[in-house]
Amino acid sequence: MKVSYKLQDKFDLVIFIPVIFLVIIGLMAIFSATYNQSLASGNFQKQLIAAVFSVLILLIVYFLPPVSLRELALPSYLLSIFFLIVVLVLGRTVYGSKSWLNFGPLGFQPSEFAKVGVVLFMSHWLTNKKDDINNVKDIGVALLIGFLPVALILLEPDMGTAIVFVIITISILFWSGISLFAMFVVLSPAIVIFASLLGTFFFILSLAFVVICLVFFKRDLFNSITIFVANLASSYFFSYIYKILKPHQQKRIETFLNPNADPLGSGYNAIQAKVAIGSGGIFGKGYLQGNQTQLRFIPEQWTDFIYCVIGEEFGFIGSIVIIILFLILFLRLLKLASNAKDKYHALIIIGVLSIIFSHFAINIGMNVGVTPVIGLPLPFLSYGGSSLMVNMILIGIVLNIYRNRKMYT
């Protein structure tokens, strides 16, 4: 098997094969979810075209000269911000979010492509600066790079995607060696915001936690108070954002906390998805045989709830196969990041890992009822051209880094 060894040397099959399997399973699931569905009858064909096209793009990215990854960092970020602003002005509103831009018959979601821009530029900025990351100014700049798109995406508003950008930013900062204290400063507002959602008691509890941590880190009083005030401010800022959210978006957050509170409204999907997966049993009901899927109990199942098609029709076995394929991909990405000689490349791979993992965790989590219902596609499987394309570009970037890994010593 000399040939295949050589292939593996230039082209990471451990990444590529799980991805291709996931795309194929995704196509099968979309076919099943849109079967008998007059309104979505063309979706499978569209996705098939997108899949073929995205493999081509993957190959193009794979063959890009190594230097282009650096050259593209700033332009791709600026372009991302530009489109995120354009979409707020010219975008098409879908399900209450202004997240789509149309070019004739083609539409795309700038927030999907912005992920690439943020990963490239943030990694680039963090590797190019001379100083230690652990100072207020640098952390501030890094957060600005990450949170500028978050702010723009929240204006659409698209909670789910905004959360992904927060995770990307934090993951890259984490890998780049941010100190525990700095990490705490970055993370604590998120914790306080989440706690405030659960009620006053948890809000106060989280503030107490912040105070205890501040005592533990033994920083001076001024810094500590500043951080505490920043935490308070962030929760107020969030509650302000919460108030300007549309009722259905507020409802989503409430349902997140208690899906059974509104079984026929926003909790409906979460419950039906669990019924679909749970009724699949060990071996599933068989391909195209799932009554929950085939009888359209879950609206738009081919997007955010594609995983329950697999859970219902292929059962426990099928559900586990998907998780294992992703797990192979994640652990391989983590290994490549650890082994990467170039810090820039390591950070990019961590960025890619954080994007795919956060989608995976939130999407499958909401399908099986362990995370809130946040509208995020499942990478490679969910219907949606932009999402598939971006994920394939990200994989292409990783494969490109792998191809050129020996150039850096």
Partner 1 sequence: MNDSLFGSATRKNIIYFVIVGFCFILILQLFSMQILEHPEYAVKSEENSIKPVYQTAPRGVFYDRNGNILVGNKPSFTIRITPADYNNRLDKYIEPVIGVNPGFISKLLKENSSYSKYIPIKIKKDADFKIIAWYEENASNLPGVDYVIETQRDYSFGVSGSHMFGYTKEIGIDLLRQKKKEYDMGDNIGYSGLEKTYEKFLKGIKGIRYIIVNAQQKTIGSYNNGINDKSAIKGYDLILSIDKNAQEVAEKSFEGKRGALVALDPNNGEILAFVSSPQFDLSDFATVTSTEVWNRLNNDPDKPLFNRATMSIYSPGSTYKLLAATAALEEGIITPDYKITCQGGFQFGDRFFKCLHVHGTVNVITAIEKSCNTFFYQLILKIGLKKWAEYSHKFGFGMKTGVDIPEESKGLVPDEEYYDKIFGKGRFPKGILVSLGIGQGELSVTPIQLAQYAAIFASYGKTAKPHFVKGLIKSVTHEFIPITPEYFDVGVSKKTFDIVREGMYDVVNRAGTATNIRLPNIEIAGKTGTAQNPHGKEHSIFIGFAPFNNPKIAIAVVVENAGYGSTAAAPIARDVIKAYLEGNSKKVNENETYRQLLSNLIINKN
Determine how many CB atoms are found less than 10 A away from the CB of residue 281.
Answer: 13
Binding to partner 1 by residue 22, rule CB under 8 A?
Answer: no
Binding to partner 1 by residue 276, rule CB under 8 A?
Answer: yes
Binding to partner 1 by residue 299, rule CB under 8 A?
Answer: yes
Name residues whose C-beta falls within 8 Å of residue 82's C-beta, 6 or more positions apart in sequence.
Answer: none
Label the pairing between strands 92-94 and 106-108: unpaired
Q: How far apart are CA 202 and CA 194, in angstroms?
A: 9
363 touches 304 (CB < 8 A)? yes
**Distance of closest approach, residue 279 Cβ to partner 1, in angstroms:** 4
Binding to partner 1 by residue 346, rule CB under 8 A?
Answer: yes
Binding to partner 1 by residue 129, rule CB under 8 A?
Answer: yes
311 touches 277 (CB < 8 A)? yes
Binding to partner 1 by residue 291, rule CB under 8 A?
Answer: yes
Q: Which of 41, 68, 102, 338 binds partner 1 (CB under 8 A)?
A: 338
Q: How far apart are CA 380 and CA 60, in angstroms?
A: 18
Q: Which stretch binds partner 1 (CB under 8 A): 172-180, 206-214, 236-244, 389-397?
A: 172-180
Helices (H), 285-341: 291-294, 306-339
Binding to partner 1 by residue 315, rule CB under 8 A?
Answer: yes
381 touches 25 (CB < 8 A)? yes
Binding to partner 1 by residue 123, rule CB under 8 A?
Answer: no
Binding to partner 1 by residue 162, rule CB under 8 A?
Answer: no
**Distance of closest approach, residue 334 Cβ to partner 1, in angstroms:** 6
Q: How far apart are CA 200 and CA 132, in angstroms?
A: 38
Q: Which of 311, 372, 377, 385 binds partner 1 (CB under 8 A)?
A: 311
Binding to partner 1 by residue 136, rule CB under 8 A?
Answer: no
β-bridge partners, 102? 107
Q: How far apart are CA 82 and CA 62, in angstroms?
A: 26
Residues found near partner 1 in the complex (CB under 8 A): 36, 126-127, 129, 131-134, 171, 174-179, 272, 274-282, 291-292, 294-299, 311, 315-316, 319-320, 323, 326-327, 330-331, 334, 337-338, 343, 346, 350, 353, 357, 361, 364-365, 368-370
